[in-house]
Amino acid sequence: MSQTNILLESGTNELEIVEFYIDEESEDGGTYRSYFGVNVAKVLEIIRKPKVTEMPGTPHPAVKGTFNLRSRIIPLIDLSVWLNKSMIHTDAPKVIVSEFNNITNAFLVSGVTRIHRLSWEQVEPPSGYVASFSSDSFTGVVKFEDRIVLLLDMEKIIWDLNPNLAMREDQKAEARVEPTDEIPYRALVVDDSTSIRKLIVGTLVRDGYEVEQDINGQKAWERLLGLKQKSQDSGEDVLALVNLVVTDIEMPAMDGHNLCKRIKDDPVLRDIPVILFSSLINEKLFHKGESVGADDQITKPEIGVLTQRAKALIEEKGRPRRH
């Protein structure tokens, strides 16, 4: 799959998505086409459906088997089955080979249309009511003149299919923060996934933090601007108000790279440690976080690593005593 310039840029609040579709038979005997999308950064390549070896005892009927791609054995997931759709099978279905959370998977779809370059401001978060119809399996909605494209939550799909890969609280973690002035450290957690956000928040609270949370970078940035104003009005160092920002990368309205860049470009906020916690943290994309000044980058679902490195960052930075 060709790489485009957007993959070399950071902090622009832009993304590219691969648009694909699933065809199913409509009630009148015709064809109904549903459109979906996935971040280009998660796509390794797009291929024709290969020869698949079935696997007995798969955890879900959506897992059709495995195939060999250049000596890599990759599981194939039929997205239509996962989404409870009856896909019309043709002679030329497409397979989207993806990599995130350092794991490679492939998804069977009817076809692929094109790549779109968008601003995250064009991606609307799905309403809870609408998302419930697809088991909360998509994270954003993009509206075009003649169709709606749903951005699928590939991580949730994989975690539901294989719970062993899912993020869960690390009961053995020993990352408790014990400030010398006995005032809890304060963290801001930013993630558009309700379940992941709750898990991060719960883990940090267990470790002695006070935690605020936002669903995207735009809301987090507005909150941080409010804290900046408060620190300026009171003469208090902003690190007395917030000691850490943990943010996802892929989020509607404003992504984590853009949020991080804004924080690090701001003369008042720049000393706040920022950890990027995302499925997009890998060797190929690590440089993007570095270019926006992230203090650390951790791939999901390593929440135990997150709490340990958060503690180290805060202790390294230190903080002024609150008034």
Residue 116 has pLDDT above 80, yes or no: yes
- Residue-level pLDDT at 184: 78
Which of 278, 188, 277, 275 is CA-nearest to residue 225?
188
* Rounded-to-integer distance, Cα 172 and Cα 106, Å: 33
* Rounded-to-integer distance, Cα 76 and Cα 117, Å: 27
- Residue-level pLDDT at 154: 86
- Residue-level pLDDT at 158: 85
The partner residues of 115 in beta bridges, in order of sequence, read: 18
Which of 98, 57, 53, 62 is CA-nearest to residue 80?
62
The verdict on whether omega for the bond into residue 301 sits within 30 degrees of 0, i.e. cis, is yes
Question: Strand pairing of 63-69 and 72-78?
Answer: antiparallel
Question: Strand pairing of 274-278 and 244-247?
Answer: parallel
- Residue-level pLDDT at 320: 54
Task: Give the number of other Cβ atoms within 10 Å of residue 88's Cβ.
Answer: 15
Residue 170 has pLDDT above 80, yes or no: no
- Residue-level pLDDT at 95: 96
User: Residues 211, 204: contact at Cβ < 8 Å?
Assistant: yes
- Residue-level pLDDT at 147: 93
User: Stretch 95-111: mean pLDDT, rounded?
Assistant: 91
User: Stretch 110-135: mean pLDDT, rounded?
Assistant: 78
Written as one string, the DSSP assignment of 82-123 is HTT--BPP-S--EEEEEEETTEEEEEEESEEEEEEEEEGGGP
The torsion defined by the Cα of 196, 201, 206 and 211, in degrees rounded to 10, comes to: 170
Long-range (24+ apart) CB contacts under 8 A made by 208-211 are 208/176, 208/177, 208/178, 208/184, 209/177, 209/184, 209/185, 209/244, 210/184, 210/185, 210/186, 211/186, 211/187
* Rounded-to-integer distance, Cα 225 and Cα 223, Å: 5
pLDDT tens digit sequence for 248-278: 999 989 999 999 999 999 999 999 999 999 9
- Residue-level pLDDT at 50: 93
User: Stretch 176-201: mean pLDDT, rounded?
Assistant: 78
Domains of the chain, residue spans: 5-164, 186-317
Q: Tokens at residue 289, please?
A: 């976080």
Q: Tokens at residue 261, please?
A: 């860049």
User: Stretch 207-219: mean pLDDT, rounded?
Assistant: 92
pLDDT tens digit sequence for 17-45: 999 999 998 878 788 999 999 999 899 99
Give percent above pLDDT 70 in the chain.
85
> What CATH topology corresponds to 186-317?
Rossmann fold (3.40.50)
Residue 217 has pLDDT above 70, yes or no: yes
Give the residue carrying structure tokens 């994270």: 139
- Residue-level pLDDT at 3: 45
- Residue-level pLDDT at 1: 46
> What CATH topology corresponds to 5-164?
OB fold (Dihydrolipoamide Acetyltransferase, E2P) (2.40.50)
DSSP 184: -
* Rounded-to-integer distance, Cα 57 and Cα 49, Å: 22
- Residue-level pLDDT at 163: 67
- Residue-level pLDDT at 241: 92
Q: Tokens at residue 72, please?
A: 């890599």
- Residue-level pLDDT at 2: 43
- Residue-level pLDDT at 138: 81
Residue 164 has pLDDT above 90, yes or no: no
User: Stretch 122-143: mean pLDDT, rounded?
Assistant: 72
Which is more confident, 18 or 280? 18
Band (46; pLDDT cuts 50, 70, 90) = very high
